[in-house]
């Protein structure tokens, strides 16, 4: 059995895609051992609870108010996660940049970013790609899944990527919807590849 820790900050749609793949049998021999959020209101926590997955709420605000550092926050999070079996850490909308105090404990951390490698790092990648298309600078964007070996932002190394065309009649909302659909499938496929488990085609799901 392969065990995942999934870290979120928001609605958790990529988390749900992973849960669905596991429960349908498409992603076999895999279990989510814990879901972590830095935001109490993150709907991803409710998604986890509905499927009987343990959750951790670990906010940074109390650390900041107490004058404590991000390094201390990361050290404590790593200690919390030590109670769970973890073969792979999956960042699915986690809105913190880890310091080496966390990264030295976990060397297998995947992150997902809604842009092609080297393009539009940071939180507003889809909006920036859409605006760049409107200016005639690009004709496509994409989704990148990358390893998080250090403190760089959306820098790789790249584990997988898929191109997403931008169409003349696209709105920002339609582009976001198409990118998210690619994310949900690509993340599941990449996790299976990294773990070395045989991903079943969707038509063979039980």
Give the C-alpha separation, 156 to 110, whole Å. Answer: 9
2: which strand partners?
A: 30
Q: Is 96 a catalytic residue?
A: no
Could you say which of 105, 113, 146, 184 is catalytic? 113
Pair 167, 60: CB distance under 8 Å: no
Q: Tokens 């996790």 map to which residue? A: 191
Give the C-alpha separation, 135 to 6, whole Å. Answer: 36
For residue 139, give both structure tokens: 């004709």
Name 135's Cβ contacts closer than 8 Å, sequence gap at least 6. none
Planar angle of CA 131, 132, 133, nearest 5 degrees: 90
Phi and psi angles of residue 30, each rounded to the nearest 5 degrees, phi first: -140, 140
Residues with a known catalytic role: 113
């Amino acid at each position: 059995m392969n065990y995942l820790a999934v870290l979120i900050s928001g609605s958790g749609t990529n988390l749900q895609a992973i849960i669905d793949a596991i429960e349908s049998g498409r992603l076999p021999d895999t279990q989510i051992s814990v879901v972590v959020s830095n935001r109490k209101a993150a709907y991803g926590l409710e998604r986890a609870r509905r499927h009987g997955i343990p959750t951790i709420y670990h906010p940074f605000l109390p650390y900041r108010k107490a004058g404590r550092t991000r390094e201390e926050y990361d050290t404590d999070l790593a200690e919390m996660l030590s109670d769970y079996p973890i073969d792979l850490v999956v960042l699915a909308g986690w809105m913190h940049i880890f310091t080496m105090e966390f990264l030295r404990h976990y060397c297998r951390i995947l992150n997902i970013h809604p842009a092609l490698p080297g393009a539009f790092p940071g939180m507003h990648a889809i909006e920036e790609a859409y605006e760049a298309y409107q200016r005639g600078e690009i004709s496509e964007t994409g989704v990148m899944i990358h390893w998080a070996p250090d403190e760089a932002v959306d820098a790789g190394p790249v584990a997988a990527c898929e191109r997403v065309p931008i169409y003349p009649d696209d709105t920002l909302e339609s582009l976001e919807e198409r990118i998210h659909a690619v994310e949900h499938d690509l993340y599941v496929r990449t996790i299976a590849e990294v773990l070395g488990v045989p991903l079943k085609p969707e038509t063979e799901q039980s």
